[in-house]
């Protein structure tokens, strides 16, 4: 552990709250300390209220904020006095506590204070830092974790046995901390949960955290439980995308909604999955109870989803009596699979969630292996994990529901998506919650959108092996394919038939027609496995119903593609796959149409640029985004009873109508 404190950087964050923001971000930068909303920090500041009286306000991390990116408004200002009083109550339910915390805010617009707010309040220090450091967990999650912590820290920390986070923990700490703290105390270790440090200023509290966790790391090193090496993973010998899509289908059916399924096959995950003692290691439970909300209590070993579901229902039935109020069972699908052939598979409603599960799982593997080196990993009993998985506040969130975008958990592939209509289709799909695989020959595609739910693949669509590789990469990253948007194509310069070479004809047919056949054929098994039925949208052309002179190859290729789509609609309907076509015309906001080209074409027709752009029945401009919105809608509920349709999007064309 190394302190990341930097005087120049720190000076950019003036005031007590500014300093709190700065060192919170330093903690957040180190994933071995906190991950994805984990951990919390606070500072106590004396401030005058409206009546001029000085009050102590606890600024504590608000829920929904991440330490790494937190800003001043991410700290909820709560009056300290009522919080300290709450800590003297014998009992307080979580919903009551959440209500009391909100009522003690000095800013009605502030986020909900952390569930550890009362605990922060009761520690008599200006700055308080709390993390779920990997090194601490590796030591406390062993059979004699307490003795080891005593050996490492002596009287410099107070040790708190595990109780459920929230009011019970705050209550226990308010009792045990003052009874056990002395002048040497700089921290507090919560067994099987994490560690607190505190100080008079932000730097002192932060650097104590670094120093305390550093001691735990040194202890692990001394006991040969720090460095873990993994042998290289053997490569896969054959494509597995159809197996992956079938597995995702089963997971989605079990969950009751489509899921994103990411496969992580590498040295760490494969050697873990292939350990002879994997059932013992992975069958213990999560590192800290809050992980259960992302990962569920146990991973699925292998791929027997039905057995996992049965075991989950059994676990729910066995533990539901622990709650005083009736509980609604969460979906019984696993979020983590550990498989000797696939390595680690992570599941989420969104690609981002699946990525969070991956991060947690990788840390979990490291910590479990370190604890194993120390003599054996030991997690909390199932009941304690259940209490957090089903605690009131989480159940309330579940009851409140909240609408998710329509394509959440689904996967779309768009060809020719680095610019123009293709790029707009990617945006329309992302906006509807889908994860998207974007294909383009332009290498810019790889960095077009930097987000967990986008995979850009540089790909020449006329290369069948490259198309198959892209489908394979998409299945590893997201789990399969639900929607296919065939957009890539070329519009060659105007050539009359009398001078059209066979080579030019072939080139256009190859790209506009043959490549789409290859992709449809190879995507079919994946689309067939789509949880809600596959969908294909063809970006056709007005030239299909109304061809133009000089565009023989283009018009013929698009017309043939149109027939291909109609036949696919007939052949694939029984598999629940819908195939529909849009016929755009005169979409000028694409790379093809530079301002100069538009101006010269307008002049050619004796029109102003504006009149040329809106030269249709409705006198409207047709933009890439209009075409993309239509393509995306065709994949949605509105078109759920429609296949084989052709919809013009051209502002009305008198030759088509």
Which sequence positions are flagged as catalytic?
A: 554
Q: What residues form DSSP beta bridges with 202?
A: none
Residue 190 CB coordination number (10 Å): 25
Nearer to Zn ion, 75 or 315 (CB): 75
Least CB distance to Zn ion at residue 130 (A): 6
Residue 83 CB, shortest distance to Zn ion, in Å, is 17
Q: How far is the CB of 419 from Zn ion (least distance, A)?
A: 46
Residue of minimal Cβ distance to Zn ion: 194
Nearer to Zn ion, 128 or 262 (CB): 128
Among positions 49-78, residues that touch Zn ion (CB under 5 A) are none
Query: What is the C-alpha separation between 107 and 588, in angstroms, rounded?
Result: 50
Provide the 3-class DSSP secondary structure of residue 632. helix
Q: H or E stretch including 484?
A: strand 483-486
How much helix, strand and coil, in percent to the nearest 5, is found in the chain? 45, 15, 35
x-or-dash pattern for Zn ion, window 498-537, by CB under 5 A?
----------------------------------------
Site size toward Zn ion, by CB under 5 A: 1
28 or 194: whose CB is closer to Zn ion? 194
| Closer Cβ to Zn ion, 194 or 285, answer by number | 194
Pick between residue 187 and residue 194 the one whose CB is nearest to Zn ion.
194
Comparing CB distances to Zn ion, the nearer of 367 and 430 is: 367
User: Cβ contacts of residue 547 below 8 Å, gap of 6+?
Assistant: 555, 559
Tokens of 621: 């401009």
Residues 289-348 that bind Zn ion (CB under 5 A): none
236, 240, 245, 250: CA torsion to nearest 10 = -70
Q: Which of 524, 533, 532 is nearest to 571 (CA)?
A: 524
Helix (H) or strand (E) run with residue 160 in it? strand 157-160
CB of 453 to Zn ion, least distance (A): 28
Interface of this chain with Zn ion, residues 473 to 502, rule: CB under 5 A = none
Q: Is 246 helix (H, G, I), strand (E, B) or coil?
A: helix
At closest approach, how far in Å is the CB of 211 from Zn ion?
19
The nearest distance, CB 564 to Zn ion, in angstroms, is: 57
What is the rounded CA–CA span in Å between residue 265 and residue 362?
A: 12
Beta strands (DSSP E) in 49-131 are: 54-61, 75-79, 127-131
Instruction: Output the CA–CA distances (angstroms, integers) from residue 655 to 346, 454, 587, in the order listed.
Output: 52, 39, 17
What distance lies between CA 433 and its chain's CA centroid?
11
Name residues contacting Zn ion, limited to 178-207 (CB under 5 A): 194
Q: How far is the CB of 27 from Zn ion (least distance, A)?
A: 12
Can you state the angle between helices 552-572 and 502-509, rounded to 10 degrees? 30
In sequence order, the β-bridge partners of residue 164 are: none
Nearer to Zn ion, 193 or 542 (CB): 193
Name the residues that contact Zn ion, by CB under 5 A: 194
């Amino acid at each position: 552990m190394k302190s990341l404190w930097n005087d120049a950087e720190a000076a950019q964050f003036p005031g007590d709250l500014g300093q709190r923001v700065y060192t919170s971000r330093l903690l957040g930068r180190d994933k071995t300390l906190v991950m994805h909303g984990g951990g919390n920090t606070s500072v106590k500041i004396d401030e005058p209220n409206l009546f001029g009286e000085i009050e102590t306000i606890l600024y504590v991390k608000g829920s929904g904020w991440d330490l790494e990116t937190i800003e001043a408004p991410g700290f909820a200002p709560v009056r300290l006095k009522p919080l300290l009083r709450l800590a003297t109550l014998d009992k307080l339910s979580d919903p009551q506590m959440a209500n009391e915390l909100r009522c003690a805010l000095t800013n009605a617009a502030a986020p909900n204070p952390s569930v550890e707010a009362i605990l922060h309040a009761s520690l008599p220090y200006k700055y308080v830092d709390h993390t779920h450091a990997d090194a601490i967990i590796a030591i406390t999650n062993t059979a004699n974790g307490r003795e080891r912590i005593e050996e490492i820290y002596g009287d410099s920390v107070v040790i708190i046995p595990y109780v459920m986070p929230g009011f019970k923990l705050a209550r226990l700490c308010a009792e045990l901390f003052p009874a056990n703290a002395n002048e040497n105390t700089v921290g507090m270790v919560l067994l099987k949960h994490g560690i607190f440090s505190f100080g008079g200023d932000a730097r002192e509290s932060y650097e104590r955290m670094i120093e305390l966790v550093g001691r735990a790391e040194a202890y692990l090193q001394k006991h040969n439980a720090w460095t873990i090496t993994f042998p290289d993973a053997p490569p896969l010998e054959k494509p597995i995308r159809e197996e992956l899509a079938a597995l995702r289908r089963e997971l989605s059916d079990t969950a009751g909604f489509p899921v994103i399924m990411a496969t992580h096959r590498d040295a760490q995950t494969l050697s873990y999955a292939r350990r002879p003692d994997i059932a013992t290691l992975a069958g213990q439970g999560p590192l800290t109870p809050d992980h259960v909300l992302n990962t569920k209590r146990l991973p699925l070993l292998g791929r027997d989803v039905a057995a996992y579901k049965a075991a989950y229902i059994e676990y729910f039935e066995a533990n539901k009596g622990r709650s005083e109020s009736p509980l609604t069972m969460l979906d019984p699908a696993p979020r983590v699979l550990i498989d000797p052939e696939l390595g680690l598979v992570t599941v989420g409603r969104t690609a981002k969630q699946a990525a969070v599960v991956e991060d947690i799982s990788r840390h979990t593997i490291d910590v479990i292996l370190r604890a194993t080196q120390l003599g054996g990993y030991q997690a909390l009993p199932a009941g304690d994990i259940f209490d957090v998985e089903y605690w009131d506040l989480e159940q309330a969130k579940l009851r409140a529901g909240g609408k998710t975008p329509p394509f959440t958990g689904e996967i779309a592939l768009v060809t020719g998506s680095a610019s123009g209509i293709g790029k707009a289709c990617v945006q329309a799909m992302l906006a509807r919650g889908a994860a998207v695989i974007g294909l383009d020959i332009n290498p810019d595609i790889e960095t077009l959108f930097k987000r967990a739910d986008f995979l850009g693949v540089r790909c020449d669509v006329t290369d069948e092996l490259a198309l198959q590789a892209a489908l394979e990469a998409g299945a590893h990253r997201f789990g399969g394919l639900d929607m296919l948007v065939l957009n890539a194509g070329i519009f060659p310069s105007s050539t009359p038939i009398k001078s059209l070479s066979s080579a030019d004809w072939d080139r256009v047919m190859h790209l506009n027609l043959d490549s789409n056949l290859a992709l449809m054929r190879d995507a079919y098994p994946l689309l067939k496995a789509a949880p809600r039925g596959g969908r294909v949208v063809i970006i056709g052309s007005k030239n299909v119903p109304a061809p133009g002179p000089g565009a023989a190859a283009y018009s013929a290729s698009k017309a043939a593609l149109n027939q291909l789509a109609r036949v696919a609609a007939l052949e694939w309907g029984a598999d629940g796959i819908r195939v529909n076509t849009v016929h755009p015309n005169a979409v000028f906001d694409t790379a093809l149409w530079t301002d100069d080209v538009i101006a010269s074409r307008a002049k050619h027709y004796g029109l102003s640029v504006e009149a040329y752009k809106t030269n249709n029945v409705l006198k409207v401009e047709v933009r890439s985004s209009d075409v993309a919105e239509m393509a995306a809608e065709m994949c949605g509920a509105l078109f759920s009873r429609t296949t084989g349709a052709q919809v013009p999007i051209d502002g009305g064309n008198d030759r088509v109508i």
